[in-house]
Amino acid sequence: MSIFDKLEGVVKRFEELTEKMADPTLYERQKEYKEISTERSNLEEIVGTYKKYKKIKSDIDGAKDLLANEKDEEVREMAKEELAENEVLIPALEEELKMLLLPRDPLDDKNVMIEIRAGAGGDEASIFVGDVLRMYQNYCRALGYKTEIVSISEGDEGIKEVVFSVSGEKVYSNLKYESGVHRVQRVPKTESQGRIHTSTITVAVLPEAEDLDFELNMNEVRIDVYRSSGAGGQSVNTTDSAVRVTHEPTGIVVACQNERSQLKNKEQAISILKARIYDQMLQEKNDKEAAERKGLVGRGDRSERIRTYNFPQGRLTDHRIGLTLYNLDKIIEGDLEEVTNSLIAYNRAELLKGQED
């Protein structure tokens, strides 16, 4: 099937969805309405670009027809100019249409939960968790996303573990490449002899699970409450407001003590639990499709070392695509756009190569 056959099929599907959206009873069926409106929205850019392409092709044909049949030299000159202006637009539009036809990640529009945990390196790893948390918060702010700390466990120095939610437009599409092991190389503030230490943290980007994705059976969830405590055993409050939820079939455990309200802690723990279970389901699905996504980056192995932050050299290296940048000072403050765009471009190139093969 040629690219234009595919595009005509997309236009036909877009028109079908537009017709369905005109049905006033559709809004009473919220699940169906959401599915139809989301699919239509995802096709809108392709249809608009294809219409623009067809209009320019039509103008080119019209200019060629004038040159073949028109005797008036002034009209012929105008036709030549129009032809030259439009012909240079075609290659870029054809490339854009190829990109727009690439299979979309169905999770791209989702909000996410991000978990950052200290790994090897003791206090220095915990300090780096705080640095990366701030990096993501600043990056999300620049994108217009809303972030909210859901759960945090602080150590004597820095943060042992933090979970925060991110909401906005196409959140997962911009943050999905962050999952994996992040390595930091720098001189810790506790190092008296100036030696460079290497520490690691892990980042997991979990697409938010909605009721449409799967239904959590609460009969399979054990809920325990206990007294909250802060770093070093300090009492956060004197009531049993902390909540621990355990999903018995998978053994996934989530504890929340961030809020003074037991109900709020329970709600947050359940939302994290759902995201982790949903992510596990997706990971299992991805493992089965490993051959198809060979060479792609994104929902990969969470134990994979994906990136090194070398502070003495001011260097960031993304090991998955061989990207090296020497503006670590800006990146660690949230300027992740060049990194993200490079990963997106690599992914698209691999998908295009797969289609051509």
pLDDT (tens digit per residue) in 24-35: 898 888 888 888
- Say if residues 45 and 100 touch (Cβ distance below 8 Å): yes
pLDDT at position 98, please? 87
235/241 Cα distance (integer angstroms) = 12
Type of residue found at 177: Y
* pLDDT the model gives residue 243: 86
Q: CA-to-CA distance for 194 and 190, rounded, in angstroms?
A: 9
Cα–Cα distance, 300 to 11 (Å, whole number): 33
Question: What is residue 30's predicted lDDT score, i.e. its pLDDT?
Answer: 84
Contacts of residue 336, defined as CB under 8 A and 6 or more positions apart, other chains included, come to 135, 139
Q: What is the pLDDT of residue 53?
A: 95
Question: Burial code of 215-232, b = ≥16 C-beta within 10 A, e = fewer?
Answer: eeeeeebeeeeeebeeee
- Cα separation, 287 vs 282, whole angstroms: 9
Output the pTM of the full model: 0.75
Please give the pLDDT value at position 165.
Answer: 93
CA distance linking residue 177 with residue 155, whole number of Å:
27
Tell me the CATH architecture of domain 112-350: 2-Layer Sandwich (3.30)
DSSP state of 105: P
* Domains in the chain: boundaries: 3-100, 112-350
Q: Residue 19: enclosing H or E segment and its boundaries?
A: helix 3-21
Residues in Cβ contact with 150 at an 8 Å cutoff, skipping those fewer than 6 apart: 113, 163, 164, 165, 256, 258, 268, 271, 272
Q: So what's the pLDDT on residue 293?
A: 52
Q: State residue 324's pLDDT score.
A: 96
d(CA 125, CA 183): 9
Same topology between domain 3-100 and domain 112-350: no
CB-based burial, 41-62: b 16+ in 10 Å, e otherwise: ebbeebbebbeebeebeebbee
User: What distance in Å separates the CA atoms of residue 280 and residue 253, rounded to the nearest whole number?
Assistant: 13
CATH topology for 3-100 is: Methane Monooxygenase Hydroxylase; Chain G, domain 1 (1.20.58)
pLDDT at 178: 95
**CA 125/CA 200 separation, integer angstroms:** 6
Measured in degrees and rounded to the nearest 5, phi and psi for residue 322 equal 70, 30
Q: How many other C-beta atoms lie within 10 A of the C-beta of residue 9?
A: 11
197-207 and 315-318 as β-strands: parallel, antiparallel, unpaired?
Answer: unpaired
Q: Is 121 left (phi over 0), alpha (psi -120 to 50) or beta?
A: left
Percent of the chain with pLDDT over 70: 88
- Do 166 and 114 contact (CB within 8 A), yes or no? yes
Q: Residue ranges of the chain with pLDDT lower than 50?
A: 231-237, 300
